[in-house]
Amino acid sequence: MVSKSLDTNKLRLRQYPDPILRSPALPVEIFTPEVSAIAEKMTEIMLANNGIGLAGPQVGISRRIVVISLSGKREDVEVLINPVLSNFQGISEMEEGCLSLPGIRATVRRSAACTVKALDINGQEFVLDAVDLAAIVVQHETDHLNGRLFIDRLNSLSRLSCRRALKQMEQEFQEKN
């Protein structure tokens, strides 16, 4: 598992081009209190930043943990562990943003519906059919678990329009690290 002495208070939002965003996350195998603490801290960070979804790598945890709240409210938070998507249907083009890519928004083409199989915070399996925004968010977050960002899915024109902002983030990251 993650290190025993992990202090979740030290978790912080990771932004492009932090390399952890590019490494595929490992599955959660044991449901320790630490996993709950990570999900709780992720929820806090997501809500504080007005996000509707957040994946482990975005807080520096390379584990397959996702939190989602479509309303942006705490009572609607869902924790998805080791999510697996299937049964993709339809096509949706929606403007997306990402807490790891602040200031960038672009239209992304994804499936309009899919089925999600995941484990909850107690390790219990559940299945849900996601449509519209829910389907988009689970696809966006599952991409994060596989080291993919929404900018990888843009057409060449949208990609071009993001180039300057990405370059600037790359420069700032280099200066800080």
Catalytic: which of 141, 170, 172, 175?
A: 141
Nearest approach, Cβ of 137 to Zn ion (angstroms)? 9
Q: Which is nearer to Zn ion, 98 or 104 (CB)?
A: 98
Nearest approach, Cβ of 29 to Zn ion (angstroms)? 24
119/33 Cα distance (integer angstroms): 15
Cβ-based neighbours of 176, under 8 Å, separated by 6 or more: none
Q: Which helix (H) or strand (E) holds 11?
A: none
Q: Does 45 help bind Zn ion (rule: CB under 5 A)?
A: no
The residue type at 49: N
In the complex, which residue's CB is closest to Zn ion? 98
Torsional sign, CA 77, 82, 86, 91: positive
Q: Is 141 a catalytic residue?
A: yes
Q: Which helix (H) or strand (E) holds 133?
A: helix 132-145
Nearest approach, Cβ of 74 to Zn ion (angstroms)? 19
24/6 Cα distance (integer angstroms): 20
Q: Which residues 75-104 are close enough to bind Zn ion by CB under 5 A?
A: 98
Q: Which is nearer to Zn ion, 85 or 98 (CB)?
A: 98
Q: Which is nearer to Zn ion, 31 or 173 (CB)?
A: 173
Q: Which is nearer to Zn ion, 49 or 89 (CB)?
A: 49
Nearest approach, Cβ of 54 to Zn ion (angstroms)? 7
Q: Assess contact for 101 and 108: CB atoms under 8 A.
A: no
Give the tokens for residue 75: 């009572």
Enumerate binding residues for Zn ion (CB under 5 A). 98
Report the catalytic residues. 141
